[in-house]
Structures are given as C-alpha cells and as structure tokens.
Amino acid sequence: MLRTLLIILCVYWTFKFLRKMNQPTRHHYAPPHATTGTSQAMTELVRDPVCDMYIEKTTAIFRSGNYFCSETCAAKFKS
C-alpha cells in the first residue's frame, strides 16, 4: 500500500516538473527592440542637462541648443 502511494507521488511530481519545464519563461522586463515590419516608430531619447533625465525628443522643450524636461529645468540651466 505504501509502495503504491510512493509510486503515485513520484509520477505526480515528475509530471508537475515536466509541465513546469515546458512552460515559457516569464520576464518581468523586456527591453524594447527594433523589429522589421512593425508599425511602432522608434523615438529618439535626449538627456536633460540639469536633472539628467532622458525624455522623448518629441515631447522635450528645446532652449538654447539643449533639450529640457520642463520649463523649470530650462530656467535653472539659464541662471
């Protein structure tokens, strides 16, 4: 009786282990990468010289040859 129970448990654990090994791995973070044929346009990032934050070039504020994340950073850079 005990021997049968141990065999059943071993088969069950082996089955669970094999199912877990066949599942795809899940990544919490996958960096964006360029692929051909996608509709998403790659945006260029620029660095704010005051707070060292990277922002999209399309949303950045351009003043005196530099890109800023806000008007506050542009004023700090000017002074």
pLDDT by 10s per residue, the chain, length 79:
889 999 999 999 999 988 887 777 665 565 566 555 554 567 889 999 999 889 998 889 898 889 999 999 999 988 8
61: phi then psi, degrees, rounded to nearest 5:
-100, 125
What is the CB neighbour count within 10 angstroms for residue 50? 17
Residue 7's pLDDT is what? 94
CB 63 within 8 A of CB 73: no
pTM above 0.85, yes or no: no
Q: Which residues, other chains included, contact 60 with Cβ-Cβ below 8 Å and sequence gap of 6+?
A: 46, 48, 67, 68, 69
Is 32 within a domain? no
pLDDT of residue 18: 87
Q: Tell me, yes or no, whether 6 lies in a domain.
A: no
- Count of the separate structural domains present in the chain: 1
In a domain, residue 30? The reply is no
* Residue 23: per-residue pLDDT: 73
Nearest to 53 by CA among 76, 34, 73: 73
- How far apart CA 76 and CA 61 sit, in angstroms, is 13
- The whole-number pLDDT of residue 37 equals 52
